[in-house]
């Protein structure tokens, strides 16, 4: 279980962690920046597709480990009281953050699916759909960022 927690909860420790706290958030930020090219050119090249697949892998690793941890009874660190009403990070424990973590994770999976639809040209004309690619990837980055944030910091309802 500790190995799964290590894989699932890996975070960057540097000052850059404000922009991308996890490798997953970094991958989605790169995907967002990269999506500007296909949106302007109205064509998707192989490099973008490879990075999109890598982002899928970096999504599914924490999803699978998180589901296994949840089935084992684990909750998000910010929602877990380790004593004195504090989380393992020394901040007030906030049980509502556990559901937020799941919500943002679901939004990440949903937005990756939408990105796939835009890239493949299904349900919407391919060239016009690519205009929305930066919006979808920015939303993905925001959700990926929040997945890491709600795992660490308490919300507006600590201790309830």
Is residue 110 domain-resident?
Answer: yes
For 62, the domain range is 1-12+21-77+89-151
Of the listed ranges 11-25, 69-83, 104-118, 141-155, the least confidently predicted one is 11-25
Residues 148 and 22 sit within 8 Å (Cβ to Cβ): yes
Is residue 158 domain-resident?
Answer: no
The mean pLDDT value of the chain amounts to: 88
How many CB atoms neighbour CB 77 within 10 A?
21
Backbone angles phi, psi at 61, to 5 degrees: -60, -55
pLDDT digits (tens, 9 = 90+) for 63-102: 999 999 999 988 888 888 888 888 888 888 888 888 999 9
How many structural domains is the chain composed of?
Answer: 1
User: Does the pLDDT of residue 15 top 80, yes or no?
Assistant: no
Is residue 157 domain-resident?
Answer: no
pLDDT digits (tens, 9 = 90+) for 135-158: 999 999 999 999 988 888 877 766
Q: What is the mean pLDDT of residues 37-52?
A: 93
Is residue 116 domain-resident?
Answer: yes
Q: Determine the Cα–Cα distance for residues 82 and 93; give it in Å rounded to an integer.
A: 8
Q: Note the pLDDT of residue 81.
A: 82
Q: What is the mean pLDDT of residues 11-38?
A: 85
Is residue 47 domain-resident?
Answer: yes
Q: Note the pLDDT of residue 34.
A: 96
Categorize the per-residue pLDDT at 9 as very low, low, confident or very high, splitting at 50, 70 and 90. confident
Is residue 42 domain-resident?
Answer: yes
Is residue 83 domain-resident?
Answer: no
86: three-class secondary structure by DSSP: strand
Of the listed ranges 22-26, 50-54, 107-111, the least confidently predicted one is 22-26
Q: Note the pLDDT of residue 83.
A: 84
Is residue 159 domain-resident?
Answer: no
Residues 145 and 32 sit within 8 Å (Cβ to Cβ): no
Is this prediction's pTM over 0.85?
A: yes
């Amino acid at each position: 279980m500790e190995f799964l927690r290590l894989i699932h909860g890996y975070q960057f420790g540097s000052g850059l962690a404000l922009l991308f706290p996890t490798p997953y958030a970094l991958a989605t930020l790169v995907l967002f920046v990269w999506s500007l090219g296909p949106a302007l050119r109205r064509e998707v090249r192989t490099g973008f597709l490879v990075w999109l697949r890598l982002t899928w892998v970096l999504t599914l690793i924490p999803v699978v480990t998180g589901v296994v941890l949840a089935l084992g009874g684990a909750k998000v660190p910010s929602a877990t009281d380790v004593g004195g009403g504090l989380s393992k990070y020394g901040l007030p424990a906030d049980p509502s953050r556990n559901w937020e973590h799941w919500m943002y994770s679901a939004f990440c999976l949903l937005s990756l699916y939408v990105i796939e639809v835009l890239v493949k040209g299904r349900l919407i004309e391919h060239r016009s759909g690519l205009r929305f690619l930066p919006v979808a990837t920015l939303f993905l980055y925001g959700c990926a960022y929040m997945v890491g944030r709600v795992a660490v910091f308490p919300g507006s309802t600590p201790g309830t």
